[in-house]
Each structure stands twice: as C-alpha cells, then as structure tokens.
C-alpha cells in the first residue's frame, strides 16, 4: 500500500531540467569550449558538483569548480522566471497531502535551488514532510542513499514508497532503493524513460489516474505501470486475474485428472517414485501439467511441481497460480518438497489451495501459507 511519495525537483515538479543544461553550455562556452547536450545529459541528477566536473572530464577540460558553481547561481534565477511547473505538479502534491500521503523532496540540487524552484510554482518547504538535498548524503544519485534516508526518516518501507524521477541517475538510484519509480518524460522522453528501468512512465501529473483511497491509489499505480486496475499480486508478480474467485468442481477435477495422467509419464528409474502435478493459471484459466524427471546426477532431477510451473511460464510468461495439484501413489499423498514450495512462492498467493491426491482417491487440501508460512521472497532483496 503506497504511503509516501518522494519527488525530485528539476524535470519532475518544475520544467527546469534544461536550465542546468543551458547554464553548463554557457559556462563552457565562456571558457572557450563547446559542449553538446549529449555530453551533459548522462550527468544530470547527480548534483551540481558532479554535473560540472563530469562534463568537464567528458570533454577534456579542466575547470575551477567554485567558479562554475558561482556562475550557475548568478544566472539561475533569470532563467527560472521563464519556466513553469510540470502540468498538475503543485495540485498533485496538495491533493496527496489532503489524502494523507507523506511527501518528501529528494533532490541532488543545493537547498537554495530547491527553495527557488518550489516558490516558482507556489509551493513551500512546509508543503512537504521532509526535504533532503545534496548536502544530506555523502553519496548522491545514482546511489540510492537519499531515497533510503528519506524512507527511514518518514518511517515507511520501500514497498510502500513511490519515487518520481526524470533522469537516468535518479531512476537508477530509485530502483536500487527498492521502491517503485515513476519516470516523468520531461528529460529523457517516453522511449528512453521506459528503457531506463522505471516501473511506470508519466507525461504529466494531470495524467496520473485519480484515486480517493489507499486501495484506489494501489490500483492507480498498477494501471500506470501497465498492470491494470484488476491485477492481483501472486508472489512477485501482478497478474490480471480472471473473475473466478476459486476453482470450480469441474476445474478441480480436470486439474486432478491432468496431474494423475502426468504421473504416469514420470521418468523415475532410480527412485521408482512417480509424481505428477498440475497448475491452474490465474491469468488464462489454462491448466498445465508436469511430471518428475530424474537424473543419474541426483541434483539435476526436476520435480513434477517445478516442471508444471516452468511449462506454464513457457506458454504465458510470468504467471499466477490459482490452484496446484500434486499426484502420487503413496498414502497419505506426497507433499511438495521444500525447493518446490520456495519456487511456488514466486507465483502464488498465501490462500492458494494446494491439493494432494493419490491413486486410491485420497484428497487433502492445504493453503499455501500452511505449507510455507515464511517464504524467502522478492521483498527480502
């Protein structure tokens, strides 16, 4: 559930990213060196020190950093007067405040620049719960430090945080922090923003899906990232699930039949222990089966459950599992091994039914959470 929004400034709240590019060009021209935007853009979002020094290094020029920073400060306000907010930015922040969403500035710019930019669009520091600038961390973007510090100070987890960025370094740092990153297209454009690794791309805040509650907001974020308002999380994946809430008797019977049939095709010359499995895909409603395949090198053996899951993924890509059946000849029916339970956790919900059957007609049903209550999941990464 999203609880906090973290905002960069230039190119995210104010249309000011090109001021940095323009002033860097002017400074180097003043020093007798022509630089192109292609020399500047890779260094945006890292702070003024890095922007000046890395651009100088890229074009092979030595500069006096203090002189460059002074030039920047003297000319910044004049160019800022010509700029406007990213459409809908200030109202988006004020609306988030009313709805109880925590808000923070996470900028690589100096504090004076942050205040000027906010003032230019009718915002102030107290419109935010937290303001962090270049001097608040030792390592600036593309390192994730400023985002992690913001989350710690706001008291929120990465899974509950959304970062709004526009530069390559900002998007990279945001992703490394573990939070969701929404890229504004102001600096990189839509295509490069998509390729940068952002979870979602936004042209302006006016296009952010409307929301009135925390559940609405989560749905809006899924819609924005192309996962759809009706998507449900299965393990590490958001899946557009069919309307069916639980497997019907007919679907259950078909899955059991497929698991029993797959068991007959098992390759188990060493253990003589045949197992079959079937998984019901949440997204398509299709049932995929698999059997255990042994190997003289025992570690190369694949279990029936994993065989069925990989078959489903081969056909659909990332899946959600609405039902998993394991068939064997033993009594009581065989349980999935620990490795298979861990693999399942990547694509399953805690309440997903795991059905164990045997050839004597015994059927046992468990929730996945009963078989593996504490999986090692993607959030641990």
**CA dist., res. 16 & res. 316, Å (int):** 43
**CA dist., res. 225 & res. 218, Å (int):** 11
pLDDT-wise least confident of 70-79, 128-137, 158-167: 70-79
Mean pLDDT score, 281-307: 95
Spatial contact of 179 and 161, defined as CB atoms under 8 Å apart = yes
**pTM for the predicted model, two decimal places:** 0.61
Residue 28 has pLDDT above 80, yes or no: no
What number of CA atoms fall less than 13 Å from residue 60's CA on the CB side? 0
CA distances from 46 to 16, 164, 195, 214, 312 (A): 15, 15, 19, 32, 43
CA distances from 166 to 31, 172, 337, 350, 369 (A): 29, 10, 45, 36, 39
pLDDT-wise least confident of 34-38, 59-63, 222-226: 34-38
Question: What percent of the chain has pLDDT above 90?
Answer: 56
Task: Specify whether 67 is catalytic.
Answer: no
**CA dist., res. 125 & res. 81, Å (int):** 19
pLDDT for the residue 56:
80
pLDDT for the residue 363:
97
pLDDT for the residue 39:
65
Question: What percent of the chain has pLDDT above 70?
Answer: 92
Looking at 115, 134, 165, 305, which residue is catalytic? 305
pLDDT classification of 302: cutoffs 50, 70, 90: very high
Spatial contact of 343 and 337, defined as CB atoms under 8 Å apart = no
pLDDT-wise least confident of 15-29, 84-98, 268-282: 15-29
CA 232 from chain centre, in angstroms, equals 15
């Amino acid at each position: 559930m999203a609880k906090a929004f973290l905002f960069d400034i230039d190119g995210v709240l104010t249309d000011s990213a090109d001021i940095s590019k323009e002033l860097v060009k002017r400074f180097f021209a003043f020093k007798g060196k022509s630089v192109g935007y292609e020399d500047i853009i890779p260094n945006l979002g890292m702070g003024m020190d890095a922007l000046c020094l890395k651009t100088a290094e890229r074009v092979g020029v030595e500069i006096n950093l203090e002189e460059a920073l002074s030039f920047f400060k003297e000319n910044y306000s004049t160019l800022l007067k010509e700029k406007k907010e990213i459409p809908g930015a200030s109202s988006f922040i004020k609306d988030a405040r009313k709805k109880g969403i925590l808000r923070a500035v996470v900028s690589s710019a100096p504090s004076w620049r942050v205040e000027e930019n906010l003032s230019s669009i009718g915002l102030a520091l107290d419109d935010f719960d937290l303001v962090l600038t270049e001097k608040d961390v030792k390592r600036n973007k593309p390192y994730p430090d400023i985002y992690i510090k913001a989350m710690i100070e706001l008291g929120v987890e990465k899974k509950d945080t959304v970062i709004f960025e526009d530069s390559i370094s900002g998007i990279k740092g945001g992703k490394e922090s573990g939070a969701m990153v929404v890229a504004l297209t102001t600096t990189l454009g839509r295509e490069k923003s998509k390729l940068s690794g952002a979870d979602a791309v936004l042209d302006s805040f006016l296009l952010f899906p409307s929301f009135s509650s925390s559940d609405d907001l989560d749905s809006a974020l899924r819609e924005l990232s192309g996962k759809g308002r009706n998507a449900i999380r299965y393990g590490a994946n958001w899946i557009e699930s069919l309307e069916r809430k639980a497997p019907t008797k007919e679907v259950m019977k078909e899955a059991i039949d497929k698991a029993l049939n797959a068991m007959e095709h098992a390759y188990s010359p060493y253990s003589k222990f045949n197992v079959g499995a079937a998984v019901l895909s949440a997204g398509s409603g299709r049932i995929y089966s698999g059997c255990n395949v042994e190997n003289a090198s025992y570690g190369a053996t694949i279990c029936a459950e994993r065989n069925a899951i990989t078959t489903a993924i081969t056909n659909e890509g990332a899946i959600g599992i609405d039902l998993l059946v394991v068939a064997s000849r033993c009594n009581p029916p065989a349980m999935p091994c620990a490795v298979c339970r861990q693999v399942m956790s990547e694509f399953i919900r805690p309440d997903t039914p795991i059905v164990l059957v045997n050839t004597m007609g015994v059927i046992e049903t468990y929730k996945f959470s009963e078989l593996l209550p504490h999986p090692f999941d993607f959030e641990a990464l």
